[in-house]
Amino acid sequence: MGRALPDPQGEARLMRCVVCTRGGLRAGSTTVTIVRETLTLVVKNVPALICESCGDEYFDEEVLAALEVIAERSEQSGVEVDIREYHAA
């Protein structure tokens, strides 16, 4: 699904992608797919830092927590496939 950003003190050091080490990171949005035992969830327009070279995605803790809440709600509703727009929890 992407990588979590380091704590705020380490964030300033994260200037290059840790995967390809060539690309800079830019703010953008992406689509995240979460697959659990009984659920496939697609969340659109998720804020992320995205590597300009390889496309690897980085999410802050707030976004990851919101994605977890969205996934739990979808799973509890009993749907097997769900497509949602990102909204912070």
Give residue 87's pLDDT: 85
pTM for this model (two decimals): 0.80
Q: Average pLDDT of each block of 10 consecutive residues along the chain (89 residues)?
A: 54 72 93 96 97 94 95 94 89
Give residue 1's pLDDT: 59
What is the C-alpha separation between 30 and 8, in angstroms, rounded? 22
Which helix (H) or strand (E) covers residue 29, if one does?
strand 25-35
Q: Could you tell me the domains of the chain?
A: 3-85 (3.10.20.860)
Tokens of 72: 């739990």
In whole angstroms, how far apart are CA 78 and each of 32, 33, 38, 39, 85? 20, 17, 8, 8, 18
Non-local (6+) Cβ contacts of 18 within 8 A are 3, 56
Q: Is the dihedral of CA 10, 49, 30, 57 positive or negative?
A: negative
Give residue 88's pLDDT: 77
Give residue 16's pLDDT: 86
